[in-house]
Each structure stands twice: as C-alpha cells, then as structure tokens.
Structure 1
C-alpha cells in the first residue's frame, strides 16, 4: 500500500481546484456572451417588467384610491378588461405573419402604446378635483397599456433570441440550448433591477412619473441603437397561417362530404406515412380526412387544387385534427383562468390596507418565484425520474395537481378573508377605508404562493403538454390559444362578479369577498373532476406512433423555462 504523503494531498487539492475553475469558465462561456444588441434591449426589458410589476399587477389599488374612487365592482371590471384585451392582442399579434409586421416594428409601436397609457395614468394621478373626464382618460389609458404590454410580452423574448442567435460561432449549426441559456441570463438582469426599483416606488405619482420616464428613455435608446439589431428572416409558416389552415381544412372537408372515407393511402395528397385513417385517429374527426382526398374526377392536377384552396395535405389535416382534439382540455382552463384572474384582481386590493402598507410588491415577487420554482421542479422531476413512455401521463398529472392547488388557493383565500373581516368588524373599520387594518400583510403570503405554484404546475404544464403534441411551427399558435382561453376567463370574471353583485359593496371592507371565494372553491373543485374525466381521453393511444408522425424540436424544455421567467 502506497502511503498518502502531504505533497500528494496538496497536488490532489490543487488539481480539484483547477477542475472547478475550468468548469466555472466553461459555464461562463456557455451562458454569457457580450452582444451590443442585447445590451440595448436590456432597457426595454427593464421598463416592460417595471410596468408589469409596479403598475399592471396592482392596478386595482390605483383605481380604488382617492380621487378616482372607483367602487370594487367597477375597478374589478376595468382590471379584468385590461387582462382580456392583453390576451386577445397577444393572439392577434401571433396570427400576424412576422414577415408582414416585423418583430422590431411591433416592439417599437407596442412601447409607444405603453407610454401613451402611462402618460394618461400620470395625468389622472395628479388630478385632485375628481374631474368627470377622469374615468374616460383612465379607460383609454388602460386600453393603451394592455395593447402595449401584449406586444412587448409576445415579441421581446424572441427578438432577444434573434440577437443572441446572430452571435453563434457556427451559423449553420446553431445551438438552441446555448441561445436559450444566454437569453435567460440576459433577461434575468433587467428583471432583477426592475423588482428592486418597483419596491422603492411608494406613491402613485412617483410610480407614474418614473415608469413613463423610464419607458420613454429606454425607447429612445432602442431607437438610437436600431442599426445594431439583427432582423432574422422568417422562413417557417406564421402562426396566422396555422389558424387559416384549420378553417381551410374544415371548409374542404365539408365541400367533399359526399365522398366516401379513403380506403387506400394513395387517395390522400402528400401521404408520406402511407396512412389510411389519418393521425390522430379520433372517430369523431374522421370526416376531416376527406380534405386530403385527391378527387379522381377532376382534370386539375393536385398541385393546382392545393393552390386554389380545394385540396389539403395530410400534414395540414393532421394539425387541424390535433388542434380540434385539444379543445376539451382548453375548456378546463376557463375556470382555472377565472381563479387566476380573481387572484390578480382582488388579492392586491386585500393587501392595500394591511400592515405594513405598500408591501404588496413583496407578495407579487413571492408569487412569481413560486411559479418559477414549481415549473422548474416539475420539469426536472419529469425529465429525470419519469420514463419516456410515461411522460404523457405524468404531464397530465402535473396539470391536475395545479388544478388541485387552485382549489386549495381559493379555500385559503376564503379563510384569510374571513379573518380579515372579523378584525375589520372588531376594530370598527367597516366604513373607514383610509385606516390601516391591524393585520399583517403576510397573512396573504400563502394564497399568493399557491397562486404562483398552481400557475407553474397547470398553466406552464399545459404549454409543455401541448407543444409536445404539435409540430414546431404550431407551438407559438397553440401557446397563444392557451393565452386567449385564460384571457377569456377575465371576461368571465366580469360576468361572474356582475351576477354576484349582491356580495359586493362600494369598498372591499363592506363586501363579502369571503363568500365569493367560497363559491369559487366549489366551482374549482367541480372543474378538477371535469378535468380528470377529460384527461382520460388524452392518456389513451399509441405514443410511439405519435412520435413517429409528429416531428419534435430540440431545446424545448429550456424554452419553456424561459417563458415562465418572461411571464
């Protein structure tokens, strides 16, 4: 046996230190690169997240404060309107072909829209006379803000990726994993500083001045540095064309309804897989296969029929059937979106009078970190512990767990609100909205944490599940549809509050928000049962055949992680 000497131990320790340094240098070179265009974009990302945290997330507290004096129902309606318009604008911008609009142009005009909204809110923040035009200016400002937020949210991330992709050393073999990792690092820097800045802002006057000025200055810098940007040419099909294909397939299938179902693979146009019953093999959608049937009676070539819109390819029929197949699972997210919308609307207003006042931003940070943590943990557990053959079922369970947390979130919010109302009644603060309630604001931390976790599991989980079901060109489209469904839930929340208006008074202290949360707890529990029943239709089928038919892209896990950080 060779004795271990002191020089040997020193050499071994030095060797391990060198290995650690090499690993650190390797990590730095992989995740960090210097890019002038990305550096210029940092300002816009900072102002975008600052507006999101300091203005949009707590908009209801601005509306209910003096001199605006919106009652709770009016303020909730306006906040939900902003969320619904923003979600609708996201899918509208997604459906515009990138070659027509250009990401750079959309970012520029979206930022201008955001500035206009902030300026209008800035004007109303300094009006102490309760001018009758005040509410009209606020409405217009909120609409501008919603449109601007949607455009920046949709295009800032992809545009940043374009700039980093242009700095890849080998242009013909770009590492999407490295691009995604670098994009995450570049994005986190301005997000960190925007959180710090939002915590320091106290009054609405300061918030409106600072956010409007910051957005204007960063837009000016963005415009000056426009020559440094790399505008990538979009070669794939736009998301808008994906939605157009759905209508086209349905139209062609209806026009050929007199034909029999195909009996041979040769009857179908561009049938590379030699299928007779096209994937996905859902009996209810079998009639859509007729859209790809080549009519033997016509003298026009199949290529000409395709150009004139009378014939669809097998791939187009497949994508259409896949999208229609996902409609039931999308319907479960209406109730889920209703709970998210309620949390974004009433949770900040609950904390507006709690002690210490003005600490609501800390709870919003807790919510966001909970969402990122939930998504990250699920992605790692699924990738490391669940076999490939059981991934589909595991993703369904992940979404279901998020639905369960939504019910728990409503139940916790219900009991906390009961406790808040008891303190208000005992202290005689029912009609005194200016007095700080002697209750810690961190009583709301559990419901904010659960709101973030349920989004990390269910909302981000459905995106991961859907992008795995579709080919890469349709990923943006299906994500935008999910955004639209949850945004539609904001309009549902407006209707829900209206039909339960007996529970709401002019102020939150005089309202029975606890009863509204109780009702949502019951509704969300029913939605859990509905989702579990719906999910059984998605766990059946041959995953191997699905993988053979649908081409999957690489680097999607990193991209989904980044999307959570963006939101």
Structure 2
C-alpha cells in the first residue's frame, strides 16, 4: 500500500467521523463544563463531606453521597420525560444549566450548614439531569441537520460523529480537571467550576442566532402537534390505563385490534405474564368510535402496546444489575475514602491524584465501547451474533465487578494490617507508608465495569426496544443502578459494626468481601438470564414450527406474523377462515428479523400461553 492510498483512507475515515459545526461547537462548551464539574466536584463529593464535616462518620457520608446519586438518576428520567413531552430539549437545557450553576453557588457558600448542603445537592442533581438525554440529543440534532444540508440524512454517520464529538470534549474536560485542581482548596475549586459553567452557558445562548436545529418529538412527526404521549412514560401510562379499563373484554380475532396492520392474533413479544396488556388495543364495540376511544385514552394502537411489551422484556436483564449498582455505589464512596490515608508518590505535583483516579476510570469506560465497536461488533454478520456478543460483553463486565471487589478487598486487608502495626486506629489523620497507587487496579476495573457491562446494557436496550425509546436507554439504566445504590445505603446501616467514625477503625475489608460473594452469585444469575434471552438451538427451532395455542379453551391455527420478530403459527376453530385469509395475504411479507426469535419458559420472555 503506497502513501497515496494510505492518505486517501485516512482522509475518508476523518471525513466520516469528523465534521465542523458552529452550533455543535457551542454545545460542546456545555459538554466540557459538565465533564469538568463531574470530575472536579461531583465524583469526589465523599472527600468534600469528610473534609468539611470531620465529625461525620464515613457511613453517614457514604449514605449522603449515594442519596444524591439516587436523586440525580430519578430526576434524569423525570426531566427527560418533561423535555420530550412539554418543554423541548433547548428549553430544558437552559433550565437545568441555570439550576446547575445555582447549585454550585450554594455549595460554595454552604460552609458547615447542612441544610444548605442538602439544597445544593438537590439543585446539582437537577442540573446533571440536563446532560443526558436532552444535551446529547440536542447535539445529535445539530449534526443531523448538518448532514441533511450535505448529502441527505445518514443516521449511522450522524450517530458515529456524535459519539466522537461527545467523547472528545468529555475527555478534554476530565483531563483539565486532573491538571487544574492540584492542591486547590474547596472554595477555590468551586469558584473555578462556577466560572466555567457560567461562560459555557452564555456560549450556548450565543448559538440562538445561528439558529439551532431542533427535531420534533416522535409524536409531533406523526400528528403535527406536540403531546405528552411522545414520552415513553406517558405511553406506558396510556397502555396500562387502557388495559385496566378493558380487563373485562375477551381476546378477539385479529380484526378487532386497533391499527393491526400485520394481522396479529397475539401481539408479540408473547410474554404470558403481560398478555393482559394486549387488551389495550381491543376496540370496544359497545363504546364510541375507535378514534373517539383513542382520544379518551381508552384505546391504544397495536404498535404502542408492542413498544411497552418490548420495554418490559428488559426486566429480567435489569434485575441482574442490582448488585452491579451496589458495587458502583461503593466505587464513588468508599473507594474515594481509601485515598485519604495513603501516601502519594507524586505529592505536591501538578496532578490531583484522586481526580486522576476518576479520570482513569472514566477514560477506561469511554475507550472500551469504542474499541468494542471497532474491533468486534463490525465483524458480526447477523442480529443473533450481535446480540450474543452483547450478552458476552455484559458478562465480561460482570466478571470485572467481581475482580474489582476482590482487588479492593485485598488492598484494604493490606492497609488495615499496616494501620494495626502502627496502632493508628483512632487517628483519622494518620498517613501510612503505603502507596496510593495500590488503588489503581480497582479504579481501572470500575472503568471496565462501566465500559463493558453498563454500556453493554445500554446497547442491549437499544437493540431490543423500539426506536422511539432508544434515547431513554441511559436514563433507564441509571434508574436501575440507583436501586442498587439504595441497597448500598441500607447495607451501611444494617452492617453498622463495619463502619466506624473513621476509615482506620472501620472494616471495609469485610464489606468488600461480602460484595465479592454477592457479585459472584449475581454472575451465576446473569448467566441463567442471558441463556434464557438467547435460548438453545432446540428452542429456537421449535419456535419456527407450527404449534397449537389454547385461548379460552379453543384451539387456534393459522399464521400470525410480526415483521420485527418472525412468524408464529396458531390455530383457532372460531376464526379458522379469517386466519386462512390472513395467512394467504401475509405469506408474501413474512420476514426474518435481525432480532432473533428466542424462547424463555422460566422467565416468560417468549413461549406458549
């Protein structure tokens, strides 16, 4: 390969991933400021609490930090809903950025006033909710608008450019946090991040004159007007409400389902436990017209019901991330506290070592998904291989969580032994002769967890649910992890004897050992759940064969097709002729999807009714 060919390929690669956009550049100022504040302040809140309130026991400080994290993730979901349903992304970014700025100001003037500290954390939790999905999706809008002005809407290229653009500015903010805050006290650190956030906000406002591109929500695209139903939360409420109101109705033939374009008799995915949700799409013949029932919230389309059922298919996978959330909560609290009594080989240098650890974690979690996409994901030829690869990727992340807990346990055993030798259990300020670099493996493994398991869960979510819900992948993932953080809060009070007034008198080694055991058991649960998602070869083959389904005591036969899943064969004596007609009409359009047909008897993911 000569020089011109190499240059041509590099040029093509660069043009594919990089594009200049004035609007995106101004938005990136906010991305940079979010990254800087996260790494310089939010990620080290545990250190701030223990430094400012020396009499606060470490379990109380950990509970305070985890409570903030839980509040933040819950607010993310609620504000994402409000952004799509009512305010729009641009207005939501303005509101949350102002709130973020105000929260940092309150934190700066807090002093030792606990009530002001609580107010600051609430405001900051609202501010961080403006990062995803509103800010990221708004950046997508700018790059998508730029792409449309060139050569049409290439959505794959837009998403690739968004990832590169976002990751570049996020990494730049984390690197700046590492080198800009060595030996800086908390008041001065707060002043710096407040100024950066203020400048970034007004740069963002400057883009109003460009103007910014703003894509409508999915509901706007369909109806031309903006309604709350554009949010998955509103859609879930509508489907649930309609299904409950029509719980007395019997399952009809395919023609009685509202907007049943594919002629399905059983709405896929066929989850027996949630089969009753299908009744939300039944047209009530004794009531008003279908259009009127839909306006009254008593009727949903088949597509809307299927969106919610695909979302509910994520429940078994989400359940395996509760223990994972417990480990992640420990990483943002007790891991940070472990750095307080260790000696640093680069003390008084131009690097803040604690912030550097979090940057290492963030960098690892950012680079792993990119390498995964570049080296592994592109080699898969079909959807089944892709989904199997995602499950393996999450499994490796689960293994990383075990190794992370194990590494933290071994380091803590060594640290406590050294504290015991010098007799410094009662001295919270004692610095032992143990290098802080011993903590590098556990922080790196935290990054491996996030880059493999957490990012893999986001991709798995996007692969499973409808397109309209993909922007909610990270908020929903954060919400599930917040449940694990709530469990961590409960654990620090249940195992109170392990947590004393200072870290030298505590037994974090026992807590880390417990997490290692729990994570190992959780890995076994994950292996079982992932196998049920994929199913064995025999189950997959069985699902492709015609089989009988009993419904209200009658046998049903015929062909029911789902364009996104595959075909399902059923029989019903009372609708035999109707199904035959539908089968003849659909035989020419039955397809095999990239989303494979899987069987799960024990979890109820698929299977017979």
Q: What is the deviation of 1:272?
A: 1.4
**Contact 2:425/2:504, CA 8 A, preserved across alignment:** yes
* Structure 1 residues 206 and 386, CA gap change in structure 2 (3 angstroms): farther
Q: What is the deviation of 1:81?
A: 1.2
* Structure 1 residues 311 and 191, CA gap change in structure 2 (3 angstroms): closer
* Structure 1 residues 229 and 491, CA gap change in structure 2 (3 angstroms): farther
Q: What is the deviation of 1:537?
A: 3.1
Cα deviation digits, residues 189-240 of structure 1 (max 9, x gap): 4334323321230222331121111111222332334322414141413776
1:301 aligns with 2:289: yes
Q: Which residue in 2 is equivalent to 1:143?
A: 122
The partner residue of 2:218 within 222, 228, 236 is: 236
Comparing 422-431 and 23-32, the one that deviates more = 23-32
Q: What is the deviation of 1:51?
A: 0.4
Aligned equivalents of 2:197, 2:254: Cα separation in 1: 57
Aligned equivalents of 1:73, 1:334: Cα separation in 2: 20
1:266 aligns with 2:282: no
Give secondary structure in 2 for the equivalent of 1:295.
Answer: coil
- For normalisation by structure 1, the TM-score amounts to 0.87
Comparing 391-400 and 201-210, the one that deviates more = 391-400
Cα deviation digits, residues 52-110 of structure 1 (max 9, x gap): 00111111011111455432022111110111111011100111143621222222221
Q: Which residue in 1 is equivalent to 2:153?
A: 174
The partner residue of 1:42 within 19, 28, 44 is: 28
**Contact 1:94/1:240, CA 8 A, preserved across alignment:** no
Q: Which residue in 1 is equivalent to 2:96?
A: 110
- For normalisation by structure 2, the TM-score amounts to 0.81
Q: Which residue in 2 is equivalent to 1:60?
A: 46
Q: Which residue in 1 is equivalent to 2:87?
A: 101
The two structures, once aligned, show a CA RMSD in angstroms of: 2.7
Cα deviation digits, residues 433-456 of structure 1 (max 9, x gap): 334321111111111111111222
Q: Which residue in 2 is equivalent to 1:276?
A: 265
Q: What is the deviation of 1:169?
A: 5.1
**Contact 2:498/2:506, CA 8 A, preserved across alignment:** yes
The partner residue of 1:310 within 298, 312, 333 is: 298
Aligned equivalents of 1:142, 1:477: Cα separation in 2: 23
* Greater fraction of residues in helix: 1
Q: Which residue in 1 is equivalent to 2:330?
A: 342
* Structure 1 residues 471 and 394, CA gap change in structure 2 (3 angstroms): same
Q: Which residue in 2 is equivalent to 1:292?
A: 281
* Structure 1 residues 71 and 552, CA gap change in structure 2 (3 angstroms): farther
Q: What is the deviation of 1:515?
A: 0.7
Aligned equivalents of 1:419, 1:216: Cα separation in 2: 44
1:160 aligns with 2:150: no
Aligned equivalents of 1:433, 1:258: Cα separation in 2: 65
State the number of aligned residues.
531
Q: Which residue in 2 is equivalent to 1:4?
A: none
The partner residue of 1:363 within 357, 361, 373 is: 357
* Structure 1 residues 214 and 478, CA gap change in structure 2 (3 angstroms): closer
Aligned equivalents of 2:322, 2:383: Cα separation in 1: 30
Q: Which residue in 1 is equivalent to 2:432?
A: 437
Structure 2 stretches of 5 or more lacking a match?
220-227, 545-560, 567-590, 595-609
1:191 aligns with 2:170: yes
Q: Which residue in 1 is equivalent to 2:496?
A: 501
Kindly indicate whether structure 1 or structure 2 has the higher relative contact order, using CA contacts under 8 Å at least 6 residues apart: 1
Aligned equivalents of 1:345, 1:519: Cα separation in 2: 16
Q: Which residue in 2 is equivalent to 1:485?
A: 480
1:523 aligns with 2:518: yes
Aligned equivalents of 1:118, 1:498: Cα separation in 2: 29
Give secondary structure in 2 for the equivalent of 1:537.
Answer: helix
* Structure 1 residues 546 and 386, CA gap change in structure 2 (3 angstroms): farther
1:251 aligns with 2:241: yes
Q: What is the deviation of 1:296?
A: 3.1
**Contact 2:137/2:471, CA 8 A, preserved across alignment:** no
**Contact 1:240/1:477, CA 8 A, preserved across alignment:** no
Q: Which residue in 2 is equivalent to 1:457?
A: 452
Aligned equivalents of 1:189, 1:408: Cα separation in 2: 29
Cα deviation digits, residues 468-515 of structure 1 (max 9, x gap): 111100112344222211122222211111111111111111111111
**Contact 2:96/2:128, CA 8 A, preserved across alignment:** yes
**Contact 2:564/2:592, CA 8 A, preserved across alignment:** no
Aligned equivalents of 1:59, 1:301: Cα separation in 2: 57
Cα deviation digits, residues 111-133 of structure 1 (max 9, x gap): 22222222222224xx5xxx5xx
Give secondary structure in 2 for the equivalent of 1:310.
Answer: coil
Aligned equivalents of 2:399, 2:168: Cα separation in 1: 33
* Structure 1 residues 552 and 474, CA gap change in structure 2 (3 angstroms): farther
* Structure 1 residues 552 and 508, CA gap change in structure 2 (3 angstroms): farther
Aligned equivalents of 1:548, 1:193: Cα separation in 2: 40
Aligned equivalents of 1:366, 1:247: Cα separation in 2: 41
Aligned equivalents of 1:397, 1:23: Cα separation in 2: 32
Q: Which residue in 2 is equivalent to 1:557?
A: none
Comparing 63-72 and 338-347, the one that deviates more = 63-72
1:413 aligns with 2:405: no
**Contact 2:35/2:171, CA 8 A, preserved across alignment:** no
**Contact 1:122/1:205, CA 8 A, preserved across alignment:** yes
Comparing 363-372 and 379-388, the one that deviates more = 379-388
**Contact 1:407/1:525, CA 8 A, preserved across alignment:** yes
Aligned equivalents of 1:337, 1:384: Cα separation in 2: 31
The partner residue of 2:469 within 463, 470, 474 is: 474
* Structure 1 residues 66 and 434, CA gap change in structure 2 (3 angstroms): farther
Q: Which residue in 2 is equivalent to 1:17?
A: 3
Q: What is the deviation of 1:465?
A: 1.2
Cα deviation digits, residues 270-307 of structure 1 (max 9, x gap): 11111111101122222222222223344x22222222
Give secondary structure in 1 for the equivalent of 2:461.
Answer: helix
Q: What is the deviation of 1:147?
A: 1.4
The partner residue of 2:206 within 219, 224, 237 is: 224
Aligned equivalents of 1:145, 1:138: Cα separation in 2: 10
* Structure 1 residues 138 and 431, CA gap change in structure 2 (3 angstroms): same
Q: Which residue in 1 is equivalent to 2:192?
A: 210
* Structure 1 residues 302 and 169, CA gap change in structure 2 (3 angstroms): closer
Aligned equivalents of 2:456, 2:129: Cα separation in 1: 21
**Contact 2:320/2:526, CA 8 A, preserved across alignment:** yes
**Contact 1:68/1:135, CA 8 A, preserved across alignment:** no
Q: Which residue in 2 is equivalent to 1:122?
A: 108
Aligned equivalents of 1:94, 1:285: Cα separation in 2: 26
